[in-house]
Amino acid sequence: MNKLLQIIAVCMLLFNFGCESKVKKGSKDSEEKSVVRLSDDERMEWWRDARFGMFIHWGAYAIPGGERNGEVCKGGAEWVMDKLDYTIEDYEKEVTAKFNPVKFDADAWVKMAQDAGMKYIVLTSKHHDGFCLWDSEITDYDVMEASPFKRDIVKELSEACKKADMRFCLYHSIVDWHHPQAQAPLFPNYNAGQKDQTVVNPEFPKYYENYLKPMVGELLTKYDNVDVIWFDGDWIADYTTEMGKDFYSYIRSVKPNVIVNNRVDKGRNGMEGMDKEGEFAGDFGTPEQEIPATGIDSDWEACMTMNGSWGYKPSDKNWKSDTKLIQNLVDIVSKGGNFLLNIGPDAQGLFPQESIDRLKSIGEWTKANSEAIYGAKASPFARPEWGRYTSKSGVVYAHVFDWPKDGRLVLDASIKIKSASLLSTPTSELLVNTDDNGVSIQVPVSAPDRSASVIKIIVE
């Protein structure tokens, strides 16, 4: 009997049964080993097709909403710590220690993004105030230890995205006003390092190596569906191009197919969106609150607020109209970019009603016109006076913002039209006229859509 047991034991060892080092099917180890390193074009493919994403600026700064003792801060409310002169201790006590957004519902957020036609969500895991929205092993200044909320927000949103087949991405600030080795000692002007590039914290390299870098590693391993890391705060002199390049290759070594924005390095000219000439790390440019005048022959994403603030700021009533936001989306796609539209949820975890209303009407438009946006490319034709063109192979989409009063839509003469129809009613073909004055399409008297009516043109 003993002999039989010995033989079984030897066999088990030989065939690795029950051996701990064996990679179990479906385990994390096996996933890591089976990751195929995609080419850059393959890696960027989903992002290029997606065209439209939701930026979410959320943190404890939603509590003051840009106001302190009756004073309203200028600009974004997420800057309140710097703008309204909180000491670190005051901010911890008056802001983060009160963060308890009990109405936060990750599934509801994802649904609103999805209904609006957005294909990815970028959540602020840490903004410049340094407060972390996940359960971190690296710091106590997180939602679990420093706030009464004690729910891992990154985890809840990551899981909600997984369930809904929504791409999940994280914004992460290089600047940190709370960490003593970053810029914190500069109270009351935490942002001094942006204006004066001689202002540095000599300890910053330690913050980079022992805090910032492992933190992003933690996010990438703890939440396995992070598809983009969106950096910000690259402008301080403490952060160097060597760090940027090291950071980029570290991130790709942890997760080979993740996409990283250009603010991981120091390629931008000041606060400009696109990189200057040179060798810089990063996969896409980041124009902010602006749309480039013309198309750009590289990947880019314009991020924009709906009012003037990234973080929740109830005093800011300067909301862009739904038409403006829809036309911005079209404008951006017609120039080959992506649109990352921001929401600043309130201190309870709810989207502002003004944002909800806009998301709803954007969603109605994207649903009806999805074909002309997702996977669409920049137009090869000059920008028409009445709107924009987007294109796909063999098709040009005319997005008409200003509907012609005479019922005659004049097109670029170089478009060789096979047929044209309204995207909303594809069965009724529109009459095409080609004469000495160029090419035009006969359109109905009134615009089918008040924001942008789309005409699908099959080309030769």
CA distances from 378 to 142, 294, 392, 402, 453 (A): 42, 10, 9, 20, 18
| Nearer residue to ligand FHN within complex by CB, 314 or 404 | 314
Which residues have a Cβ under 8 Å from the Cβ of 457 and sit 6 or more positions away?
Answer: 395, 396, 397, 398, 411, 415, 417, 419, 420, 441
Least Å distance, CB 283 to ligand FHN, is 16
| Nearer residue to ligand FHN within complex by CB, 339 or 397 | 339
Least Å distance, CB 406 to ligand FHN, is 43
Least Å distance, CB 47 to ligand FHN, is 17
Q: Which stretches of 255-310 are assigned E, i.e. beta strand?
A: 259-260, 301-304
Least Å distance, CB 271 to ligand FHN, is 6
Least Å distance, CB 29 to ligand FHN, is 36
CA distances from 251 to 167, 246, 256, 302 (A): 18, 9, 7, 23
Rounded Cα distance between 154 and 162, Å, is 12
Tell me the CA end-to-end span of the chain in Å, nearest whole number.
Answer: 82
| Nearer residue to ligand FHN within complex by CB, 308 or 448 | 308
Rounded Cα distance between 156 and 2, Å, is 53
| Nearer residue to ligand FHN within complex by CB, 304 or 452 | 304
CA distances from 91 to 87, 125, 140, 147, 239 (A): 6, 18, 15, 12, 25
Least Å distance, CB 436 to ligand FHN, is 49
H or E segment to which residue 276 belongs: none
Helix axes 153-164, 106-115, angle to 10 degrees: 50
| Nearer residue to ligand FHN within complex by CB, 57 or 266 | 57
| Nearer residue to ligand FHN within complex by CB, 83 or 358 | 83
| Nearer residue to ligand FHN within complex by CB, 56 or 400 | 56
Least Å distance, CB 64 to ligand FHN, is 15
Rounded Cα distance between 319 and 361, Å, is 14
Beta carbons of 196 and 111 less than 8 angstroms apart: no
Beta carbons of 110 and 166 less than 8 angstroms apart: yes
Q: Provide the token pair at 306.
A: 């709906």
Instruction: State the residues that interact with ligand FHN by CB under 6 A.
Output: 57, 76, 78-79, 232, 271, 288, 303, 310
Least Å distance, CB 230 to ligand FHN, is 8
| Nearer residue to ligand FHN within complex by CB, 90 or 288 | 288
Q: Which stretches of 73-143 are assigned E, i.e. beta strand?
A: 120-126
